[in-house]
Amino acid sequence: MTTHLTDLAHLPMHRIHHLWDAEPGWLDTASYGLPPRHAHTELTRVLDQWRRGSTDWTPWEDYTHRARHAFATLVAAPPTDITIGATASQLLSMLAAALPPGTTVLAPEIEFTSNLFPWAVSATLRTVPPDHLAESIDASTGVVAFSLVQSATGQIAPAADIIAAARHHGALVVADASQACGWLPIDATRFDVLVCAAYKWLMSPRGAAYAYLSPRAREHMRPIAANWYAGADPGGSYYGPPLRLAPDARAFDLSPAWFCQAGAAPAIETLNAIGIDRVHAHNTALAARFQTALGQQPTGSAIVTVEIPDARRRLAAAGVRAAVRAGKVRASFHIYTTDADVDLALNALT
């Protein structure tokens, strides 16, 4: 039976779970997310066209358009402020590389390096404990860069405090939403830049990433990977000068990785169709049940860590795939995670 995306908002959760083919025990969306079956089917269909040469590439263009619009809807921003790229770090590099020499970038010390290394290459990077980020912003801060949800701990950043302090001191606010977008409701327009790698919570192939670039941020950026696709009229930008880039965030586009976009568009549209509030409620309820059963206070995040002796072996023996670092289990819960997945992990750990 075919399920139309328009039906998803009202479909009971057990029917939504049937859109995926997840094997029991996948608790590692913080590493990579699983595509809904119809996204995989769509990608396979396009790969088959490629294999057989049954079409030119122009029909594949539509996936990039759809993905840009779906991402814009997801983060409540105008599509004209959304750019498409390949990785979070690549998108951040376009701002980092254009910063005036000596600019200080402030970031949490436990930040994932895709949101540290681009700054360290091009600016003066200062790191502080994550809980001290907002209060550490001062007149010397040119940019404050942080993950909305920390990769290592699942901690949700106090975005309102950070934004308020940054606005007070005139610093640009850059958020990495790679571990947040897709389960945490987000209004990207509160930030100057918001980047997201799509292969985790957006359940897309590795190689697609999106960013909200505010008009203010774009004034500080250089389209260092300028290309025909970023042209005001891509079809009229194949050959010869002059430089003629799009007037909006498209000027920063990479020419699209067709097959990544073919998987990404239907996956992001699926999240929008289910509704991000519903995804958020589902994911955090499962995470809270997991934490409570292990004697912890729920943190309100879809990514949680717990310290359990011998966790790696116990989870592996039960067939649970979760990240384990230095004895700490990092478990992550997404829309396709079921109660049975949580029970499998709890039985292994308790």
Ligand X SMILES: Cc1ncc(COP(=O)(O)O)c(C=O)c1O
Convert 15-41 to b/e letters by CB count within 10 Å (16 or more is b): ebbebbebeebbbbbbebbbbbebbbe
Closer residue to ligand X in complex, CB, 151/301: 151
Closer residue to ligand X in complex, CB, 209/274: 209
Under a CB-based contact definition with an 8 Å cutoff, are residues 187 and 173 in contact? no
Minimum Å gap between C-beta 150 and ligand X is: 7
Minimum Å gap between C-beta 52 and ligand X is: 31
Name the nearest CA neighbour of 2 among 34, 36, 26. Answer: 36
CA distance 16 to 23: 15
Closer residue to ligand X in complex, CB, 19/123: 123
Minimum Å gap between C-beta 87 and ligand X is: 3
Under a CB-based contact definition with an 8 Å cutoff, are residues 290 and 276 in contact? no
Closer residue to ligand X in complex, CB, 25/33: 33
Strand 193-197, strand 209-213: pairing: antiparallel
Closer residue to ligand X in complex, CB, 8/107: 107
Give the tokens for residue 289. Answer: 């049940």
Under a CB-based contact definition with an 8 Å cutoff, are residues 303 and 284 in contact? no
Minimum Å gap between C-beta 111 and ligand X is: 7
Closer residue to ligand X in complex, CB, 172/197: 197
CA distance 188 to 211: 9
Using the 8-state DSSP alphabet, how is residue 144 labeled? E
Under a CB-based contact definition with an 8 Å cutoff, are residues 182 and 202 in contact? yes
H-state helical runs in the chain: 13-17, 37-52, 61-74, 88-96, 117-122, 133-136, 159-169, 215-219, 258-274, 276-293, 311-318, 339-349
Give the tokens for residue 175. Answer: 């958020």
Minimum Å gap between C-beta 112 and ligand X is: 4
Minimum Å gap between C-beta 54 and ligand X is: 32
Under a CB-based contact definition with an 8 Å cutoff, are residues 213 and 252 in contact? yes
Minimum Å gap between C-beta 157 and ligand X is: 11
Q: Which residues pair with 306 in a beta bridge?
A: 329
Minimum Å gap between C-beta 62 and ligand X is: 24
Minimum Å gap between C-beta 197 and ligand X is: 4
Per the listing, tokens 């987000």 go with 186
Give the binding site for ligand X (CB under 6 A): 87-89, 112, 114-115, 147, 151, 176, 178-179, 197, 209
Minimum Å gap between C-beta 149 and ligand X is: 8
Give the tokens for residue 108. Answer: 């949490």
Closer residue to ligand X in complex, CB, 250/330: 330
Closer residue to ligand X in complex, CB, 200/282: 200
| Residue 138 CB-half CA count within 13 A | 5
Closer residue to ligand X in complex, CB, 93/338: 93
Closer residue to ligand X in complex, CB, 87/237: 87
